[in-house]
């Protein structure tokens, strides 16, 4: 039985995509997803609060040559459903929901934050699509969760007990959904493109160094490092 919990403040869509590689009797891969309408991320709180609004488990009807391909396919399918639900929610409430994705495939998160191309050719276009959606803000946040907190896991593996998912539905508590730093924080602190952008702003825009954003990007920390002396940079 689904339960819908009262949510405070701005809402977001929190999607959990998962896949199992060639675990079916016909050697096909299985994908699943759970999507929650959840409260926005709050500083200092690692558990989210939300209600399950969509779930699915189905075969991947294409050839998958690795676990990464299966996970990528499941993630992009989940994102597509989140886009549909965002439009539906906008029509109902006039509110635009951010889309957050949680995956237990950590390599998808780390690859999205780099410019490195994968070795498998069939994943290049999907990785490029994922990077475009994440960096443009269409996927507002992408983060890793451990397998124990992957709420779509029982929808792809018969051996996994659904206790965690049932508890999340019955309590509205999504365990460790916001334990990891937000994707944009990781990009700001680690991705060299932010420091290149900050250096260009400092060199070409004659503004006081109190500027914190440029083209929608928070570059305050990067500008601080660019304006410091070489001995002060870390």
Q: Is the distance from CB of 13 to CB of 35 less than 8 angstroms?
A: yes
Mean pLDDT along residues 30-36: 96
Mean pLDDT along residues 159-174: 94
Q: Check: CATH 2.60.40.10 for 11-180?
A: no
Residue 2 has pLDDT above 50, yes or no: yes
Q: Which pLDDT tens digit goes with each residue over 50-68?
A: 999 999 999 998 888 888 8
> Which two tokens mark 46?
């690692």
Residue 121 has pLDDT above 90, yes or no: no
**pLDDT at position 183, please?**
77
Mean pLDDT along residues 31-51: 94
User: 232 falls in which pLDDT band (50, 70, 90)?
Assistant: very low
Mean pLDDT along residues 6-19: 94
User: 147 falls in which pLDDT band (50, 70, 90)?
Assistant: very high
Mean pLDDT along residues 188-215: 58
Cα distances (Å, whole numbers) of residue 58 to 12, 18, 19, 25, 99: 25, 11, 10, 14, 22
Residue spans per domain, the chain: 11-180, 191-232
Crossing angle of the two packed helices 220-227 and 192-204, in degrees rounded to 10:
60
- 161/164 Cα distance (integer angstroms): 8
- 60/66 Cα distance (integer angstroms): 12
**pLDDT at position 186, please?**
63
Cα distances (Å, whole numbers) of residue 147 to 25, 61, 224: 23, 24, 38
Mean pLDDT along residues 80-106: 94
Residues 6+ apart with CB under 8 A from 234: 225
Q: Which of 42, 38, 44, 179 is nearest to 104 (CA)?
A: 179
Query: Which region, left, alpha or beta, applies to residue 19 given φ > 0 means left and ψ of -120 to 50 means alpha?
Result: beta
- 232/86 Cα distance (integer angstroms): 45
- The model's pTM: 0.78
Give the pairing type, strands 30-39 and 11-20. Answer: antiparallel
CA dihedral 124, 55, 176, 147 (to 10 degrees): -60
Residue 231 has pLDDT above 60, yes or no: no
- 60/113 Cα distance (integer angstroms): 26
- Backbone dihedral angles phi then psi of residue 155, each to the nearest 5 degrees: -90, -5
Mean pLDDT along residues 127-152: 88
């Amino acid at each position: 039985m689904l339960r819908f919990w009262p949510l405070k403040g701005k809402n977001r869509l929190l999607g959990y995509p998962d896949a199992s590689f060639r675990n079916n009797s016909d050697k096909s891969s299985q994908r699943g997803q759970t999507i929650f309408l959840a409260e926005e991320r709050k500083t200092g709180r690692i558990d989210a609060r939300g209600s399950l609004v969509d779930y699915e488990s189905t075969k991947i009807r294409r050839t998958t040559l690795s676990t990464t391909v299966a996970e990528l396919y499941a993630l992009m399918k989940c994102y597509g459903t989140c886009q549909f639900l965002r439009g539906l929610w906008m029509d109902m409430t006039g509110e635009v929901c951010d889309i957050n994705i949680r995956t237990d495939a950590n390599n998808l998160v780390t690859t999205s934050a780099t410019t490195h191309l994968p070795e498998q050719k069939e994943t290049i276009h999907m990785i490029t699509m994922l990077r475009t959606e994440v960096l443009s803000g269409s996927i507002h946040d992408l983060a890793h969760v451990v397998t124990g907190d992957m709420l779509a896991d029982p929808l792809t593996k018969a051996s996994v007990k659904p206790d965690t998912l049932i508890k999340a539905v019955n309590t509205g508590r999504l365990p460790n959904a916001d334990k990891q730093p937000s994707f944009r924080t990781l990009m700001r602190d680690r991705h060299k493109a932010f420091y290149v952008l900050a250096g260009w702003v400092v060199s070409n825009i004659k503004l006081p160094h109190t500027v914190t954003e440029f083209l929608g990007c928070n570059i305050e920390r990067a500008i601080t490092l660019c304006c410091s002396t070489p001995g002060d940079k870390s």
